[in-house]
Amino acid sequence: MEIYKKRLGLLRKNMRENHLDVCVILNSDPHLNEYLPEHYQAIKWLCGFDGSAGTLVVTHDYAGLWTDGRYFEQALRQLPSDVVLEKQSATQNYKRQLANFSGKIGIDFAILPFAAYKELCALLNPASLVDCDCVGNIWKERPRRVANAIYAHNLDISRAQKLRDVRAKMRQMGAEWHFVSSLDDIAWITNLRGSDILYNPVFSAFLLISANKAQLFLHRHSLSESLQKELRNDGFSLFPYKNAQKELAKLKKRRVLVDRITTRTARILQQNGNKLREELAPSTLQKACKSEAVVARIQDAMIRDGIALCRFFAWLEGALLGEILDECDIDTHLTAFRAEMEHYVGNSFATIAGFGANGALPHYQAKRGACAKLLGDNLLLLDSGAQYLDGTTDITRVVPVGNPSEAQKRDYTLVLQAHIAIAQARFPDKIAMPLLDSIARAPLWQHGLDYAHGTGHGVGYFLNVHEGPQSLSLNAPISPRTRVHAGMVTSIEPGIYREGQWGVRLENLVVAKASAHAGFLEFVPLTLCPFEPRLIVRTMLTEAQKEWLDSYHARVWELLAPHLSGDVREWLERKTCPQ
């Protein structure tokens, strides 16, 4: 921990030299990615915290990390003693804390979301905010930005057609230009994929679209000559990545459509008299609503993922009888089983394998040399996913190690009831998805239980495992942009977390489809993997819940059994047969 004390000391020295009273370090980058390139992991470098959500506020005699309930336990384990854990809530956050400070506040506008900047301006004197990369001057061995190879990912909709669709929407919205900085949107529009961001098959780029131009800013050495020619033939002009802001500065008094941009980008546009139209990017909704052909390909990926999972869980059940495994072994073996599958590219996020008390940390990540051994009677929570060329997966299951207790079985069954409640729900087409969250929580609320994270998130098609605009979370805004549409792929993942004891979370991916009732939608499961019968108290389930469970297991058997044999097929039969 001494290294973090030294680095905070260097930061404070730099603050004095630049006459700053407060420095705000963001968990962000110029594209507002969830998973950050190492170049932008300044919080981890300064204080050791590596969660995906956090903001570090530093003064000359104080340092505090703001994060939400998913990361409280993790932050307490990782932060040095001189950095305070500040627990973020709906009413308290770093922006409100800054209102209590005086003087100059340094914050990097190149990675500050414009929405956050506007909130800060409403709370503070805007003149107190100084555009400053507080870490850049002291991080001498900062990792370089990456620019890996880019490759084509052809779909049933051509990139030329996607450009036409985006432009048609721009005309409807009265926008002359559209600036796109979100990498999954750019990858989707261009039918390209890359590996610049860990777990997300995207590449670093910006895209500026008008009625007759599509300017793509990227590292051209990452593209083959043939792919560059394809892009030009489809109407894209290629520019160096670093030139994006220079081109934006040429726009004057134009109507520019933007969504999820940084403060520096917004200020460049505003300084030249451009009128910003801040609305949902057309491509965001277009890529969220998967076609039937895309859903069919995703289901194919789910079958292969299900095969890998069955082989893994059948192996694990036998291995636990004679081997001493740890949490890191679980990640290694599961990844190996998936890597055998056709079209496998990599994991879709860092595997969460939490045994016992570690399972009560929703975003726990085991580290080699400091992970728990699977010994004694407790639960293993396993949240994992993969990227295949034809789909992105995300699944959570819980495995009993040894003999589960009655309390553990009860928790598992309650979470299963919560999962089934939303999985079998029907709801009006285009209802705001956050309104559906309480359907999942209701079975737990009846017992005075709840969980600190959302119930679900959108999932991309060989893209980001966390995708908007939909969000199955009571903390998400109820607005037109969070409406549920047919073709959206979403996770369902309620949980119960017993601090210091165990955790239970059960997650499937589902797709929204038209129901038998006109004007209503329902969720159809995509994930194919049985729930654990040893942990289900059937007497707690209603007849409707039993029917849903048996029907789901019948579907899992029908789609996976033909691809399995021997002990693995026998394992699946035991797990899916009606109890």
Which pLDDT score is estimated for 370?
87
Average pLDDT of the residues in 546-559: 98
What sign does the dihedral 26-28-30-31 (CA atoms) show? negative
pLDDT digits (tens, 9 = 90+) for 9-39: 999 999 999 999 999 999 999 999 999 999 9
Model confidence at 317, pLDDT cuts 50, 70, 90, reads very high
Confidence of residue 72 (pLDDT cuts 50, 70, 90): confident
Separation between Cα atoms, residue 365 and residue 363, nearest integer Å: 6
Sign of dihedral through CA atoms 220, 256, 281, 293? negative
Rounded to the nearest angstrom, the gap between the alpha carbon of residue 7 and the centroid of all alpha carbons in its chain is 29
CA dist 322 and 310 (Å) reads 19
How deeply is 505 buried, as exposed, middle or buried, from its count of CB atoms within 10 A (0-12, 13-18, 19+)? buried
- For 360-408, how does the pLDDT look when each residue is reduced to its tens digit (9 = 90+)? 988 888 888 889 999 999 999 999 999 999 999 999 999 999 999 999 9
Question: In this structure, what are the phi and psi dihedrals at residue 201, rounded to the nearest 5 degrees?
Answer: -80, 65
Tokens of 575: 């797990």
Q: Which two tokens stand for residue 228?
A: 């560059």
Mean pLDDT of 132-157: 91
Mean pLDDT value across residues 275-294: 96
> What is the reported pLDDT for 363?
84
At residue 69, does pLDDT exceed 80?
Answer: no
Please list, in sequence order, all residues whose beta carbon lies within 8 angstroms of the beta carbon of residue 100, skipping any fewer than 6 positions away: none
Q: What is the mean pLDDT of the chain?
A: 95
Confidence at 71, pLDDT banded by 50, 70, 90: confident
In the chain, pLDDT over 90 holds for what percent of residues? 90
Tokens for 201, please give them.
């098959």
Q: What is the DSSP letter of 319?
A: H
Phi and psi at residue 97, in whole multiples of 5°? -65, -40
pLDDT of residue 254: 96
